[in-house]
Amino acid sequence: MIKANKLAYEYIRRDEEGNVEGIIRALDGVDLEIKKGDFVAILGHNGSGKSTIAKEINAILEPTEGTLFVNGLDVSDESKIWDVRQSAGMVFQNPDNQIVASLVEEDVAFGPENLGVPSPEIKQRVAYALEKVGMEDHRGSSPNALSGGQKQRVAIAGILAMKPKCIVLDEPTAMLDPGGRREVIKTLHELNKKEGITILLITHYMDEVTGADRVIVMDDGKIVMQGTPREIFSKVDEVKSHHLDVPQVTELAYELNKRGFRFPPGVLTKEEFINALLG
Amino acid sequence: MLRDITIGQYYPSGSVLHRLDPRVKLFWTLLYIVSMFVFNTFLGYVVAGVTLIVLIKISRVPFKFMVKGLKAVWMLLIFTLVLNLFMTSGEVIWQWKFLKLTREGIRTAVFMGLRLFFLIIGSSLMTLTTTPNQLTDGLETGLRGLKKIKVPVHELAMMMSIALRFIPILLEETDKIMKAQAARGADFDEGKFKDRVKALVPIFVPLFVSAFRRANDLAMAMEARCYRGDVNRTRMNPLKYKQIDRIAYLLQFVYLAVLICADKLLAPLLTKVLPML
């Protein structure tokens, strides 16, 4: 689905007069392969290059070096740019700044309208997408009347209506309350399981990645760790060395192990913790 | 305080007027405004007034609600009335020092007032029965012909609908900034006019910064959703005229015809019978 080879991205930082202050290598030789139907989470602290990789996949930024193929399409190929964006939809951080229309259903229709889909099919797609994110009762509402989590689900529906193979989400829950965050993550897992859509979730909330098939940790423009959530979170010290935290239960189990308890490495959920404690 | 401002306020009542094609309503409004300058007799006002009353009845928007929205224009209305009342020269019927009341003055004042009133109520009837989206849609489709002479109709309509979408968001943000500054001792309500204007500058700076940031984000999100202007674009609900829209168009011309007949033919006849008018 997504295949990056020695991918690099540099941008030039300028001071107020426009003089070059320095070149920043946001991505530095990233090799990445994501298979169809995977749920992959990318973790990294601020400035680790995780948002840059999302913008590369959506062809908003062009790679400085290396190659990146999305659904078999080269993102540096100008003529394929719209196909790339259609196959890999992108959801951004701020829900308010990505909703275009003043009606939920019109916003969901925005993508297919841009693709030139015939009107009757747009209606079908809008109904389908809103149903998939559980927002069908709000199709006639104004986005301003919705909660953050609902707005973000509308944004996901807007991408879904374009029938993408893959959805890239750049910190979709950073501006939401805990309830909204749960709604969004649950929706993503459902889309992944029921519709087979590849999900690439970029986040810095540890508890959101525990359900992923694979976790990628980025630091300083490079991939530094890769594996299942359990593999990653059993290496508590290494995760912390990249300025990241581990989920609270994982940390608790880890600290208790240090004091003589015997928890298996990489406890991810409350249930696992309780079972380990009782068993 | 800022939340009280409603722009393009819509009153949903599901009437026939609400269901009309926005292009029809736009054209109706335009025609109605133009018609205000066509007639000059008492009978003309009757025709225009009755038409408006009938339309209001059909729209099922409470008249009280319409008038409430006119607060801002009351001053203008009264100002026009007073100015016309005392400044028109003619046959003096009452005088107190420099204030003169003339027969012509009363006539012009009443008629001008009515005209303005019709104008405002007529156009607010359109915004009350048409959602902002329908309005921009109507403008875009209605003015499609102008694309041939390189008028960026689609882009203008898109800008308008985005502006409408962001008005409540930016209002809320202004409110937040004002409160944040008030919490740190800023005073927006007291002092001389000059000071109050000066106090607004620190509000506008962060507001503009945030608006530009939002615009940047939105542009990126739109591109990510394959927006590339008016290239090969379809609509979910393309505007299509229905039977009722055709009837509405027809009725506009009936209205204009009746108005001109009443004003130019009937009124002179009546004047002979009742010279007062």
Tell me if B225 and A144 make a contact (CB, 8 A cut-off): no
Q: What is the pLDDT of residue B276?
A: 57
Asked whether residue B140 is assigned to any structural domain, the reply reads: no
Give how far the C-alpha of residue A68 lies from the chain's centroid of Cα atoms, to the nearest Å.
17
From residue B205, give the alpha-carbon distance in Å to each of A213, B81, B202, B208, B238. Answer: 45, 41, 6, 5, 40
Could you read off the pLDDT of A32-44 as tens digits, one per residue?
999 999 999 999 8
ipTM: 0.88
From CA B230, how far away is CA B218, in angstroms rounded?
Answer: 17
Q: Is the CB of residue B175 less than 8 Å from the CB of residue B3?
A: yes
Same domain, B76 and B212: no
Could you read off the pLDDT of B43-100 as tens digits, one per residue?
888 899 999 999 999 999 888 888 776 777 788 888 888 888 887 777 777 777 777 7
Same domain, B173 and B44: no
Q: What is the pLDDT of residue B191?
A: 76
Same domain, B170 and B119: no
> How many domains does one find in chain B?
2
CB-side neighbour CA atoms (13 Å) of A231? 10
Same domain, B165 and B82: no
Range scoring the smallest mean pLDDT among A5-19, A29-43, B168-182: A5-19
Residues of chain A with Cβ-Cβ distance to B169 below 8 Å are 96, 144
Q: Is the CB of residue A50 less than 8 Å from the CB of residue A44?
A: yes
Does B164 contact chain A (CB < 8 Å)? yes
Residues of chain A with Cβ-Cβ distance to B134 below 8 Å are none
Same domain, B121 and B245: yes
Q: What is the pLDDT of residue B105?
A: 83
Name the percent of chain A lying above pLDDT 90: 53
Task: Assign B137 a pLDDT band (cuts: 50, 70, 90).
Answer: confident
Tell me if B234 and A143 make a contact (CB, 8 A cut-off): no
Same domain, B160 and B61: no
Residue of A nearest to B168 (CA): A144
Residues of chain A with Cβ-Cβ distance to B9 below 8 Å are none
Same domain, B96 and B67: yes
Q: Domain ranges for chain A, please list them.
A: 2-228
Asked whether residue B197 is assigned to any structural domain, the reply reads: yes
Tell me if B233 and A94 make a contact (CB, 8 A cut-off): no
Task: Assign A268 a pLDDT band (cuts: 50, 70, 90).
Answer: confident
Domain that holds residue B56: 2-130+241-273
Same domain, B11 and B119: yes
Could you read off the pLDDT of A93-145 as tens digits, one per residue?
999 999 998 889 999 999 999 999 999 999 999 999 999 999 999 988 888 88
pLDDT over 60 (residue B4): no
pLDDT over 80 (residue A27): yes
Asked whether residue B27 is assigned to any structural domain, the reply reads: yes
Residues of chain B with Cβ-Cβ distance to A101 below 8 Å are 133, 161, 165
Same domain, B112 and B158: no
Q: Helix %, strand %, coil % for chain B, to 5?
A: 70, 5, 25
Same domain, B12 and B85: yes
Same domain, B205 and B248: no
Q: Is the CB of residue A157 less than 8 Å from the CB of residue A130?
A: yes
Mean pLDDT of A162-184: 92
Q: Is the CB of residue A1 less than 8 Å from the CB of residue A70?
A: yes
Same domain, B106 and B30: yes
CATH T-level topology, domain A2-228: Rossmann fold (3.40.50)
pLDDT over 80 (residue A185): yes
Does B217 contact chain A (CB < 8 Å)? yes
Q: Can you name the residues that pair with A41 across neighbouring β-strands?
A: A201, A215
